[in-house]
Amino acid sequence: MYQVDFKNPSAHIYFCGIGGISMSGLAEILHSEGFTVSGSDRQPSAMTKRLESLGIKVYYGQKKENITKDIDAAVFTAAIHPDNPEYVAAREFGIPMLTRAQLLGQVCSNYDLSAAVSGTHGKTTTTCLVSEILMEAGFDPTISVGGIYDRIGGNIRVGQSENFVTEACEYTNSFLSLYPRIGIILDIDADHLDFFKDLADIRRSFHQFARQISPDGWLIINSDIENVSEITDGVRARIITYGSSPESDYYPSDITYDDLGCPTFTLNRRNASSAPAQQKITLSIPGEHNVYNACAAAAAGDIYGAEPEVTAKALRNYKGAKRRFEYRGEMNGITIIDDYAHHPTEIAATINAAKKLKKDRVVVAFMPHTYTRTKALMGDFAKALSLADEVLLADIYPARETDNLGISSETLADEIHKLGHSAVYLGSFEKIEDYVRKNLHKNDLLITMGAGNIDTVADDLLS
């Protein structure tokens, strides 16, 4: 594998798909280190425009002629296939190639105290919470997050310290390219079943990720994970647990919620030394699931050496990333929230958080994401969505898939009806918007939900 020489940043690194949320961040980090960076994407975006403003050359359209012999290494995402003209040209020129995950692993290893946040759910929020703590403490971290984080003005922050924080995604086992000092495992759930065989296969990958944490490092893991000892078996790093049990190293108690559903709780440190054994924490993001994300972040903050009062202030100040229970506005007295939830566990957590707000009804406009996920978890989707007072369904967002597997959003609507709950299949965004205007009322809460482009419904309604 090609090794990026961070001590001698003279190489020219090319990114195919440079506008992606992770690729753009890696490109910016290498550019800041002094490397020559260029790349291509299908069309201009906020990400590519930012890179261009930094002096990075971006080509639009992926063409063979974009690949030149002066390129020392080319980075490709999993979405790039071997018949891609740039991939073909790189092979013909004999240019070494790296996957996005391999490059992220090398960047991670370039920092002395790197943290990688993994888990089926909550990665972006927890990465932001850890980052918030480090920035509030003045630790000047480099940050790579899988969403838009307002405080850093995007998805990347380049610091000048040895502290690095990144998301660690399990899809296609990309997180197995990472060897962090601090590894966080938030939860393990059945997902990405177009790649993994089953939940046991997913658990094996998380176990391997845990074993790759540096022996002089730390694994922060949710003790509520089923058979958690299977995941920690053979881990050489120090194990720190958090969860609902008082036997965990970090656990919450006395959880209460304000009118916006934001929690206040007591953070208990069971093995506290210098930090207080009990500390009052207030969050500005809603939901019980975020109480546990905050516990994980506080544990990481303690490892980095943040003062407890700094941790509490940072957790209180964090207002959320884009598309994570994001308040979008009001329309005729209807409150509109947008959320990225696209797995039954995430959907249930988001709806339960919404129900703590004082609204007459919670209505979810949901766009399922991929046929494989929808079919594999159909019953779980129906149960989770049934927590809402009404569900409006858009067509399935296929992403990379072409086979509909004989299902549609109408199938999901039927499953919700079988549970005795209200669901309306509408298909198009235009029909959803029209339905909302005609049928929702003052003091209703609408959540546009899904990993596709369902957020444009919120844009259209508010415009």
Longest dimension (CA), the chain: 64
Paired tokens of 338 = 């947008």
First to last CA, the chain: 49
Catalytic pick from 86, 136, 167, 170? 167
How far, in Å, are 293, 351, 451 from residue 384 at the CA level? 20, 8, 16
Q: How, if at all, do strands 182-185 and 218-222 pair?
A: parallel
Beta pairing partners, 99:
76
241 among known catalytic residues? no
How far is Cα 323 from Cα 237, in angstroms, rounded to an integer?
A: 34
How far is Cα 376 from Cα 412, in angstroms, rounded to an integer?
A: 12
DSSP 8-state symbol, 396? P
167 among known catalytic residues? yes
Paired tokens of 430 = 């235009």
How far is Cα 166 from Cα 130, in angstroms, rounded to an integer?
A: 10
Catalytic pick from 48, 124, 241, 311? 124
Say how far residue 122 (Cα) sits from the centre of its chain: 6
How far is Cα 4 from Cα 428, in angstroms, rounded to an integer?
A: 46
**8 Å CB contact between 264 and 280:** yes
DSSP 398-445: -TT----TT--HHHHHHHHHHTT--EEEEESHHHHHHHHHHH--TTEE
Catalytic pick from 28, 48, 120, 123? 123
Beta pairing partners, 15:
39, 75
Sign of CA dihedral 427, 428, 429, 435: negative
Burial (CB < 10 A; 0-12, 13-18, 19+), residue 428, is: exposed
124 among known catalytic residues? yes
What is the arrangement of strands in the sheet containing 12-16, beginning at the earlier edge strand? 57-60, 36-41, 12-16, 73-76, 97-99
Q: Please, where are the H alpha helices in 287-370?
A: 288-304, 308-317, 344-354
Q: Which residues contact 196 (CB under 8 A, 6 or more apart)?
A: 202, 205
How far is Cα 97 from Cα 78, in angstroms, rounded to an integer?
A: 12
As annotated, the active-site residues are 123-124, 167
